């Protein structure tokens, strides 16, 4: 019924919220155990993300609210439902403001840092092997008249300014084989950074 479903979903969600900071604290052991088979995910997990240590309490808050909901549901049904709904709203807002920026650092933090480093440089930036609008947003590049949105032109056309390419470690061999004009200039947390030199 309702109480079983709501309790199960909240308990699973709360457990996940509690576990995420502990995953970071034990990431080297997780990597050494070879549970993660994706090379990009392994390198992304190595990102240096600051956790204060108290963030798991957000999940604990939801766990407590869920337990109260379970015990009160039969006696004070309306009160218990409101309690669980309010707890979920509060936790979701805390996740949006505290967890998501940290998770973004794992998923694309190194790439974002690279894009930001090119904000004041008159250059082109593109990605190969994955789609993203982050390069346009964080590098603050303005729309132009030339075909700079065309990867083929950026990679093989006449160079009018520097061209940088962001990719993933999983595409490293492919890029070395098919795009010898790209020079590897950096590698961090699963991302590879190239500059076109001819």
CA 97, chain centre distance (Å): 14
Strand pairing category for 162-168 and 123-127: parallel
Task: Pinpoint the alpha helices (H) of the chain.
Answer: 2-25, 27-32, 39-45, 56-72, 77-94, 100-117, 134-139, 151-156, 172-178
Q: How confident is the model at residue 181 (pLDDT cuts 50, 70, 90)?
A: very high
Section 3-27 average pLDDT: 92
- pLDDT value for 173: 94
Indicate whether 145 pLDDT > 80: no
Provide the terminal-to-terminal Cα distance of the chain, rounded to the nearest Å: 65
Q: How confident is the model at residue 143 (pLDDT cuts 50, 70, 90)?
A: low
61 phi, psi to nearest 5 deg: -55, -45
Section 49-75 average pLDDT: 93
Q: Is 123 helix (H, G, I), strand (E, B) or coil?
A: strand
């Amino acid at each position: 019924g309702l109480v079983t479903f709501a309790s199960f979903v909240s308990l699973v969600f709360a457990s996940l919220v509690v576990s995420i900071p502990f995953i970071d604290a034990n990431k080297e052991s997780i990597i050494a155990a070879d549970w993660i088979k994706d090379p990009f995910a392994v390198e992304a997990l190595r990102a240096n993300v600051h956790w204060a240590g108290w963030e798991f309490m957000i999940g604990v808050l939801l766990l407590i609210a869920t337990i109260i909901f379970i015990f009160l549901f039969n006696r004070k049904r309306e009160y218990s439902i409101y309690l669980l709904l309010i707890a979920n709203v509060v936790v979701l807002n805390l996740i949006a403001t505290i967890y998501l920026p940290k998770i973004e650092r794992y998923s694309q933090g190194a790439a974002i840092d690279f894009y930001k480093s090119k904000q004041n440089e008159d250059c082109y930036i593109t990605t190969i092997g994955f789609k993203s609008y982050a390069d346009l947003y964080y590098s603050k590049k303005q729309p132009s008249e030339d075909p700079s949105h065309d990867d083929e032109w950026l990679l093989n056309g006449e160079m009018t300014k520097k061209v940088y390419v962001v990719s993933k470690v999983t595409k490293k061999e492919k890029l070395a084989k098919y795009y010898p004009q790209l020079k590897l200039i950096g590698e961090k947390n699963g991302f590879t950074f190239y500059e076109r030199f001819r």
